[in-house]
Amino acid sequence: MESRKDQHVRLFEKTYQTHQTNDFDSVRFVHNSLPELSLSKVDSLTTLPFGTWSSPFFINGMTGGSEKTKKINESLAHAAAATGIAIASGSQKAALKDPALHDTFRVLRQVNPNGFIFANIGAELDEEAAKQAIDMLDANGLQVHLNASQEVVMPEGDRDFSSWLKNLERIAHSIDLPVVVKEVGFGMSRATFRRLIDAGVQIIDVAGKGGTNFITIENQRRDRARFDYLQDWGQSTVISMLEAQPYLDQATFFASGGVRHPLDALKGLALGARAIGVSGIFLHTALSSGSEGLITLIEEWKQQMNEIMLLLGCASLDELRRTDLILSGTPDQWARLRGPK
């Protein structure tokens, strides 16, 4: 029997679309013909509450838990180590129950001994599970994912989400490493930010709609799709970052979900994110071109991000956050309907 983790990767690849449009296309920078800056002065390092990262993007949480996904983790971790960017593990829940699976996650640390690694669990687990997941990887931080939409679409998924906020509160107060609460591709709202911040969560990855879609993937896992009409569920990454505007000084935001190239990443940063998580295109590249292909892509992203910042006349991410953005389409409508607060 093919494991659920292997099915996810296979169906991810089957449904992956290279040129999918999304709400990042409804955000535009204003071209300026006089940048008055030299590339040598551009630095895209990002300042985070726990230190600085020399690049403002990272490989977001994806996989582990089977022999095939161990190989994928090895490839992703090799690219993270070679390029010096941070990486997150996929959900370690299965390995917390079955020590035979530890290796499929530990490989992240074995091939990337000095890199920044996030452990990953779901909010249905408590602070004890969080500590075990961190120890398994000797991790530098923890991601806790919120995947209610995915669970509901799975017939075998959880149907009781009533302990999540309490678990998050306990995790936020008992783990002394950076804790990131993230979605899995359906975005977040103001009401969610308020509750997370009140629970003590300091770093939030909005992980919005626009890229990998777990409702689509779960629908493909069975002969008769459940909820095939629900594929447009959730808030895009751009809309989630618009929702985040009133909270930018109360928490650190990461933007992820549907980031296809360095221009999308820069739009997320200009909307106030301190770092950009990338899953789909990096996984697709690792699967199709191996870790060497992924290393080449990541190095191109680093270079091109600095070149576009040069074009915008921005020497730093602080300056990028102050550039004008023009919204159109759904993000524009959303911003008008929601108002500034």
Contact 8, 184 (CB under 8 A): no
Q: Which is nearer to ligand FNR, 265 or 312 (CB)?
A: 265
Does residue 283 belong to the site contacting ligand FNR (CB under 6 A)? Answer: yes
Residue number, nearest CB to ligand FNR:
211
Q: Which of 56, 90, 262, 268 binds ligand FNR (CB under 6 A)?
A: 90
**CA–CA dist 83, 130 (Å, integer):** 27
51-53 and 46-48 strand pairing: antiparallel
E strand segments, 200-310:
203-205, 252-256, 275-278
Question: C-beta of 138: minimal distance to ligand FNR in Å?
Answer: 19
Nearest-5° Cα angle at 106, 259 to 4: 65
Q: Which two tokens stand for residue 264?
A: 């999308």
Site for ligand FNR in 138-157 (CB under 6 A): 143, 145
Does residue 308 belong to the site contacting ligand FNR (CB under 6 A)? Answer: no
Q: Which of 56, 187, 258, 268 binds ligand FNR (CB under 6 A)?
A: 258
- Beta-bridge mates of residue 47: 52
Q: Which is nearer to ligand FNR, 207 or 317 (CB)?
A: 207
How far from 70 is each of 13, 97, 110, 215, CA to CA, in Å?
A: 17, 17, 12, 24
Question: C-beta of 217: minimal distance to ligand FNR in Å?
Answer: 8
Does residue 178 belong to the site contacting ligand FNR (CB under 6 A)? Answer: no
Q: Which of 59, 62, 239, 269 binds ligand FNR (CB under 6 A)?
A: 62
- 175, burial (CB in 10 Å: exposed 0-12, middle 13-18, buried 19+): middle
27-29 and 325-327 strand pairing: antiparallel
Does residue 235 belong to the site contacting ligand FNR (CB under 6 A)? Answer: no
Q: Which of 77, 206, 278, 320 binds ligand FNR (CB under 6 A)?
A: 278
Q: Which is nearer to ligand FNR, 42 or 74 (CB)?
A: 74
Q: For the chain, first and last CA: distance in Å? A: 50
* Burial call 113-129: b when 16+ CB within 10 Å, e when fewer: eebbbbbbbbbbbbbeb
Q: Which is nearer to ligand FNR, 8 or 267 (CB)?
A: 8
Q: Which residues contact 77 (CB under 8 A, 6 or more apart)?
A: 87, 107, 108, 109, 110, 111, 112, 115
Judged by CB under 6 A, which stretch of 79-87, 275-283, 298-306, 309-317 contacts ligand FNR? 275-283
Site for ligand FNR in 4-33 (CB under 6 A): 8-9, 12
Does residue 63 belong to the site contacting ligand FNR (CB under 6 A)? Answer: yes
Q: Which of 236, 279, 291, 306 binds ligand FNR (CB under 6 A)?
A: 279
Judged by CB under 6 A, which stretch of 98-106, 178-186, 265-273, 293-301 contacts ligand FNR? 178-186
Place of tokens 């009409």: 229
Q: Which residues bind ligand FNR (CB under 6 A)?
A: 8-9, 12, 60-63, 90-91, 120, 143, 145, 182, 184-185, 207, 211-212, 256-259, 278-280, 283
